[in-house]
Amino acid sequence: MFRFMSLVLMLSLMLPLQLAGVFADEKPVVETSQVDDPEVKLTAGTWKDVEALVAKNAGRIVVVDVWSMSCLPCMTEFPHLVEMHRKHGAKVVCISFNVDYIGIKSKPAATYAKKVEGFLQKHKATCTNILSTMPSDEIFQSLELSSIPAAYVYGTDGKLLKRFDDSLLVDGKDEAFTYRDDISPFVEKLLPDVK
C-alpha cells in the first residue's frame, strides 16, 4: 500500500512537469474581456483641471461625476455616465473625477490608479477620467460637498446649471438622485441648446 501511494504521489508531481514541456511552445490564450481598451485613460489632476476642461468645452454640455471606489452608490451609477458619453459624446462631455485619495503620505494618489483603472476598463469608460491628487476631504471642503456620489451639470456657456448630491434626498427615497430618473432627463432637455 505504501509503495502504491508513493508511486501515485511521484506520478502526480511528474505529470505537470512533462506536460509543461509538451505545451511550452504554444502561445497563451488571452481572454478578450481581459484586454485593456487603449481608449480608456486615467490622468492625475485636481478640480482646477476639471474647471479648465469645462471652460475648454464651451458650446457643449459638461457632466462631471465625483465618485470613489469605496462608494457603492457611486459605482452603481457610474455605468450610466459611460452610457451618456456613448450616446451623446458629440454634444455632452462626460468627466469622471475619482476621489479615492485621502491624503495619507505613505499612500499617494498614484497607489489608487491600478484599482481605479481596472474599474474604468471593466466599464469601458472612454470619457475623460481624472484621479484626484488632492485629498478627498479637501475636495469636499472646497466644493462644499458633504458626501458622494455627486454630479455637476454645466451648460454650453460653462456655468453650473445643477449639482446633484445628497441634499436632494427626500423622505421615502433610497438615493438622492439617479442618472435614469434625474440627470439623464435633465441633460436631455438641454440638448437642443447644443449646436
- Give the tens place of pLDDT for each residue, 115-168: 999 999 999 999 999 999 999 999 999 999 989 999 999 999 999 999 998 876
pLDDT given at position 29: 39
pLDDT given at position 28: 43
Supply the pTM of this predicted model. 0.79
More confident residue, 33 or 49: 49
> Residue type for 54, please?
V
**What confidence category does residue 96 fall into, taking pLDDT thresholds of 50, 70 and 90?**
very high
Across 49-195, the runs of DSSP E, i.e. the strands, are 61-67, 92-98, 128-132, 150-154, 160-164
CATH topology of domain 37-193: Glutaredoxin (3.40.30)
Phi/psi for 136 (5° steps) reads: -55, -40
Burial annotation 148-165 (CB, 10 A radius, 16+ → b, else e): bbbbbbbbbeeeeebbbb
Cell triple for residue 151?
454630479
